[in-house]
Amino acid sequence: MKYLLVLAVLWVAIWLWRKNRREEMRETLREQAARAAQRPPAAPAAPQAMLRCAHCGLHLPASDALAGPGDAVYCSAAHRQAAERG
């Protein structure tokens, strides 16, 4: 009988602990949502021109492209070197 009483007390303690944690989580989520609502929305980035690698044909944003000889554009330094060699 005493084991049943210990089990019941343990069950109540775990239940109270989990209930308290759930309330803390809800409060944290509410605070995060309030902070997110106060921040102005981020402006979307302007679209970038997409360029084609002269070596492999991969399309990549202009900001990531590497200029090569002439008007050629490359996706990596290795492809630019390969084009310069031959």
Question: For residue range 18-31, what is the model confidence (pLDDT) as tens digits?
Answer: 999 999 999 999 99
pTM: 0.48
Name, in order, each residue with C-beta under 8 angstroms of 78's C-beta and a sequence gap of 6 or more.
none
CA distances for 78 relative to 15, 17, 45, angstroms? 61, 59, 29
Q: Where are the domains of the chain?
A: 1-43, 50-85
Q: What is the mean pLDDT of residues 21-45?
A: 88
Q: What angle do CA 79, 71, 76 make, to 5 degrees?
A: 20
